Amino acid sequence: MNTENSVMVYIQQREGKAAEVSLELVSKARELADKLGVEVSAAIFGDKIGDEVKRIASLGADRVYIIEEPRLKFYTPIPYSKLMIQVISEYKPQIVLFGATTEGRDLAPRAASFLKVGLTADCTDLQIGNHVQKETEYKDILYQIRPAFGGNIIATIVCPEKKPQMATVREGVMRMAQPDPSRKAEMIRITARLEPDDFPSEIINRVLEEKTVNLKGAQIIVSGGIGVGSKDNFALIRELAETLGAEVGASRAAVDAGFIGKEHQVGQTGTTVRPKLYIACGISGAIQHRAGMDGAARIIAINNDPEAPIFGIAHYGIIGDLNEVIPRMIKSYKARV
């Protein structure tokens, strides 16, 4: 067993269940590890979390480091950071991945700072490749790819000189693999080296508010862009979405213009989606937006500009005024049902 060359994923959990972003990262870690010829490991801390090992294994993990105790039921920075540093220091993975959630964005930089290694935040892609720096060639290092300058460029960042290479990755950008129930993982229980002083605060209760927008889980999304024209005109987008039983999405330009809230934003600086049907209304199709929705099974684009880039990826394109096209779509759909 080679414990010094694994690709490790920190498994975020809530109420004993692994977060979806962490499971997405296990799938991506499997892909990266296969290219490197190494194993996939995972680290999960909490209370009553042992049942999640099978789920993690089914997505590609070879080894799961688990620390269970009641004090770890909820995430708190000091003990979780100490444990993550303990696991990394002892088992020496060459890559460590975290979800770019509130928790991951808090934990990852604490671990990176202590270990004095690089960390790239909010990645939208990860690849393995070579890099030459000052006549030194580094082979099989992690390319950490993310938007920069407000999403106007895509940057590829490398941290070749120190291990582990660390990154946080946005939710939804990595495709979760089909679980294989026959896969098994070695479960390694670790004793936590924690002191009472590591718990200066205690979470007594946590109140969770359900999301009102679920773009990631939506099968149909109707999105509006700056071409919708105004906040009032977005009522037409909502009407079409309601008719189809869809979620409402938006481009960054529409969000920045105040047409709709940021929770609806699709794209590199918003949510990455893969619905069965994506209807883009008045969206030009900037690369930042396309990167967040081009995985849709079917794309319908409505735009009055025949040269709009969105038509380059759309399966069906409608050139016309959305204020005329959408009402006709609604009328036609209602007539059929």
Residue 84 burial by CB count (10 A; 0-12/13-18/19+): exposed, middle or buried?
buried
The 10 Å Cβ neighbour count of residue 117 is: 17
pLDDT at 1: 41
Residue type, 183: R
C-alpha neighbours within 13 Å on the C-beta side of residue 55: 17
pLDDT at 102: 92
Q: What is the chain's mean pLDDT, rounded?
A: 92
pLDDT at 215: 92
Residue type, 32: L
Locate 66 and state its tokens.
């688990």
Cα(51)–Cα(153) distance, rounded to whole angstroms? 42
Q: 96-107: per-residue pLDDT in tens?
A: 999 999 999 999
Q: Quick one: which of 40, 13, 3 has its CA closest to 104?
A: 13
pTM of this structure: 0.81
Give the SS3 label for residue 195: coil
Cα(264)–Cα(275) distance, rounded to whole angstroms? 14
Report which secondary-structure segment, H or E, holds 318: strand 316-319
Residue 170 burial by CB count (10 A; 0-12/13-18/19+): exposed, middle or buried?
buried
Cα(130)–Cα(127) distance, rounded to whole angstroms? 10
Degrees, nearest 5: CA angle 18-56-85: 70
Residue 123 burial by CB count (10 A; 0-12/13-18/19+): exposed, middle or buried?
buried
- Residue 185 and residue 57 in contact, taking contact as beta carbons nearer than 8 Å: yes
Give the SS3 label for residue 153: strand
Q: 125-140: per-residue pLDDT in tens?
A: 999 999 998 888 999 9
From residue 277, alpha-carbon distances to 5, 51, 104, 159 in Å are: 40, 35, 31, 38
For the chain, list residues with pLDDT below 50. Answer: 1-3
Locate 139 and state its tokens.
């082979």
pLDDT at 4: 62
| DSSP β-bridge partners for residue 239 | none
Cα(329)–Cα(240) distance, rounded to whole angstroms? 8
| DSSP β-bridge partners for residue 123 | 169
